[in-house]
Structure 1
Amino acid sequence: MKYSLKSKLSFSYAVMSLLMVALISFCINVLLQSRFQDYVIKEREQKNTEIVSMIEKQYNGLNGGWNTGTIENIGVSALEQGVIVRLKDAKGKTVWDATVHNNGLCVQMLTHMSENMNSRYPGFKGGYEQKTYSLKSGGQEVGHAELGYYGPYYFTDNDIAFLNSLNSILIAVGVLSLIMALILGAFMAKRVSGPISKSIRAAGQIAKGNFQQRITESSGTREMAQLTDTINHLADSLEKQQDLRKRMAADVAHELRTPLANLQSSMEAMLDGIWEPSEERLESCHEEIIRLNRLVGDLEKLERYEAENASLTISVFDLSGISQLILNNFESEFRKKGIALHFEGKSVTVQADRDKITQVITNLVSNALKYTPEDGNVSVSVQESERGAELSVADTGKGIPPEDLPYIFERFYRADRSRNRRTGGLGLGLTITKAIVDAHGGTIEVVSEVDRGTTFTVTLPKD
């Protein structure tokens, strides 16, 4: 049988509360009884001292005798307090003895004390104890007082009643604490299990493809808040990935549809005899085939970079030198479009795949050329920082809208919704660039402002 999280938490809180209440009550009971025992023993010693002091005062130094009448009253009063008094003079002769005065009462008192202690503490090891005190008058010993009692300690009826009342109070407090703990436990269990249950339901909806599911309730517990934030972030990510997949499917279909449609119409026209299979028309069909082949080649290249990111041909070369060579190849195209091209950098040696890094630089410079208008500027710089070798490509083009920045490295993603074949490309250049940089353990960052320009920064590790 499976139980809900709330039930398990409530049960756990109840058990923990019960154990804690029982442990606290036991410790308090033991501590109080220990203290009470010490108090009873000290009280017994104090009473003995008082009795001895009163007896000592009954000696008459003038005639060397004892005031037996008062001593008898003291002895009877002590007997009522659980003390058996026996007084002897200096020669050892008994002056007064409680057992002689009323032996039956003495036996009855000791028996009652024994029953009290055994009822409270079964198997209590106690019995009759006796202490002898020296009596002095004028600096001389005039006799001895023997005080007998039930030891090592005993509880009177009032003491037993007090302890019972104390235990009743502890039990009442324990029960009340347990009830409060159960109420608090149920509240805490609900507070803990509530966000978890909502997270489970939200995760179930996300698993079914409902990526719009969100957890709106906030939690005061840090871990619960982190859990709900993680679930919501997961839903956001999956929803964005779903949108990207749909957009990628549409872009792939568009990229394939146009050349295939052109090929189909041209071939059908030539087969039907409407067009002559001239060299010009065949060349147009060939261009569409090349475009399709380039698309498939880029997809294969991207898949290879992402799947085999460790397959690199590492060599040592100067990043500034290779950058300048690439810019020299682009110089005529920049001049033709009327864009100023600048380079700044010093020699920075890196260990990387020369061909793949060449493609990274080519892709970034090509993008800058493509999206920078006439009379614009493109600046390329290479420098060494604490993070490694940094390559930056900055342009003064139209920039990338903020809502598009997080997705520019996705496959087929283009901020230009018009899909202009001349400026839009296939949407794979930056994806391939990032795959190459990732394969080298580096990073690529982009900063852009609409109508102000874009800067791509590639950082390659030093080692």
Structure 2
Amino acid sequence: MLTAIVVNVAFSARFDGYLATQQQARAQQIVTLLTADYQAQQGWRAQALDRLAPGLVMTGSTVQVLGSDGRLVWSLADAGVDPAMTAVHRQMMGVPDLTATVQDPVMVDGRQVGTAVLQVPQAVSPVADVAFRDGVNRLLLLAAAGAGAVALLVGLLLARRTTGPLAELTAAADDLAAGHRDRRAHVSSPDELGALAQSFNAMADAVDHEDALRQAFAADISHELRTPLAILQGQLESVRDGITAPDAALIASLHDEALRMGRLVADLETMADAGAARFTLHRRPVALAPLVGAVLDGLASPVAALGISIVRRLDEVTVFADPGRISQVVTNLVTNAATYTPPAGTITITLTRGSDGAELAVADTGPGIPDDEMARVFERFFRGAAAPPGGSGIGLAVAADLVVAHGGNISVDSRPGSGSRFLVRLPTTIPATFIGSS
């Protein structure tokens, strides 16, 4: 529509200019004829002008000649021309109407010798030009209709291509929220919607995986709690019924079972606490060597009871950290190493200053980690196939969460039969992301 308007305005302007030029040319022809007669007669001569009358009549114009003093010198009426005859000629030209009266000066040798008072026939658009404009308008209408139809078809196709995947994603999200955990979005387009569907499916897979881990964790915890509870219940009932005497050995056994349940509960609390560690850390400059040494001193007795030796190589390194949380990290790593290290084995703790900060390594001489379990070592609730009973499978996950909360990172290097080495890197300066936090 806009194109049609622009084209028609352009055509109209061109035609109007063309018609105005035509009318001006007709008037100029008459003025030229009068000028030539004046020069030939050396002035205005009515008889000479009468001889011009037949030709002027054929132009369909009305003509009056005024002298240089403004008085009437001659007109077609003075030549005896009937105005009806002029009208007949205009009818023959197909132009029944005259333009408004115009006055054009008659100039000879640079001076005005008179004035031509004229009314010339109105110019009309040529039939070919009008037909051309009408044809262009028809083409524009057809093109607009065709373009509109194509645009509508393409728009419907694009809308369907967009709304189809969105509808599938919406339905998948609704089904997943309704409890259909195996529901996935079936969108395979290579655009942003396809990427969104892949992210949605990955999220659904992660939710399934977390659910499976939670179920396994709940089963493990139930099993771990059931055993000490059954022992406590059985022994207490035995004491109550007078079958067993409440001697020191019995009380020590009951105490061990209570401690075992306490450790399980503490693991659960630690896991929940690590999830919010970023917001509960109380960081300050901490000398790591004394802190790690104190933790190892506290673990020396239980580790020695397992027949395991501890070797420490600690350099002086200061980090910006929460000392209590870092102690927890060291405890979890050493405890994990002691769990898998056989009697007569060795746990080596090394603290050095690396290029990116402090590096704390805990290496053991245990059986190592199978390749298919390496990627899941730091997952919550995960316990390897060779894990001994009694653990909750969250110690390494808690340690990893606390290290990341400090702006550091943790990694593991292990090969079956060659032991494992856990490496913790902690920044020695305040990370920019933590400036201003507690």
TM range (shorter): 0.7 to 0.9
Q: Which moved more, 1:105-114 or 1:389-398?
A: 105-114
Distance (whole Å) between structure 2 residues aligned to residue 169 and residue 214 of structure 1: 51
Displacement of 1:100 = 3.8
Q: Take 1:448 and 1:56, find their aligned partners in 2: how far apart are those partners?
A: 113
Equivalent-residue separation in structure 1 for 2:414 and 2:15 (angstroms): 82
Quote how far apart the aligned CAs of 1:355 are. Answer: 2.5
Map of 2:388 onto structure 1:
420
Farther-moved stretch of structure 1 (365-374 vs 316-325): 365-374
Partner Cα separation in structure 2 for residue 437 and residue 263 of structure 1: 37
Deviation at 1:197, TM superposition (A): 0.6
Contact 1:324 1:343 in 2 (8 A): no
- Aligned residue for 1:215? 185
Alpha-carbon distance in structure 2 between the residues aligned to 1:362 and 1:323: 9
Match of 1:55 in 2: 33
Higher-Rg structure is: 2
Give the Å deviation of 1:295: 1.2
Aligned counterpart, 2:434: none
Partner of 1:326: 295
Q: Residues 61 and 306 (structure 1 numbering): CA distance in 2 closer, same or farther, change over 3 Å?
A: closer
Instruction: Output one character per residue of 1:193-216: Cα deviation in whole Å (capped at 9) or x when no partner.
Output: 111111111111111222322223
Residue of structure 1 equivalent to 2:396: 430
Candidates 99, 103, 119, aligned match of 1:148:
119
Report the CA distance between 1:35 and its aligned residue. 4.3
In structure 2, the residue corresponding to 1:363 is in which secondary structure?
helix
User: Equivalents in 1 of 2:235, 2:153: separation in Å?
Assistant: 81
Secondary structure at the residue paired with 1:128? Answer: coil
Identity of aligned residues (%): 26
Q: Aligned equivalents of 1:394 and 1:68: distance in 2?
A: 130
**Candidates 155, 158, 164, aligned match of 1:188:** 158
TM-score, L = length of structure 2: 0.74
- Decide whether the 8 Å contact of 1:198 with 1:215 is kept in 2: yes
Alignment correspondent of 2:63: 86
Q: Is there any run of 5+ residues in structure 1 with no aligned partner, and where?
A: 1-21, 115-126
Cα distance between partner residues in 2 of 1:129 and 1:147: 6
Residue identity in the other structure for 1:204: D
Which amino acid in structure 2 is aligned with residue 55 of structure 1? L
Specify whether residues 338 and 304 from structure 1 end up closer, same or farther in structure 2 by C-alpha distance, changes over 3 A only: closer
| Local SS of the residue matching 2:185 | coil
**Alpha-carbon distance, 1:221 to partner:** 3.8
- The alignment status of 1:370 with 2:339, answered yes or no, reads yes
**1:244 aligned partner:** 213
Equivalent position of 2:410 in the other structure? 445
2-side partners of 1:36 and 1:335: how far apart?
A: 110
How many Å apart are 1:190 and its aligned residue? 0.6
In the superposition, the TM-score normalised over structure 1's length comes to 0.71
Deviation at 1:104?
A: 3.7
From the superposition, tell whether residues 323 and 283 of structure 1 become closer, same or farther in structure 2 (CA, over 3 Å): closer
SS of equivalent residue, structure 1 residue 211: coil
Provide the residue aligned with 1:176 in structure 2.
146
CA offsets, 1:202-255, max 9 Å, x none? Answer: 111111222322223323543x23432332232122111211221111121221
C-alpha distance in 2 between matches for 1:402 and 1:461 = 34
SS state at 2:100 partner:
strand
Instruction: Compute the RMSD of aligned alpha carbons.
Output: 4.4
* Structure 2 counterpart of 1:283, one-letter code: A
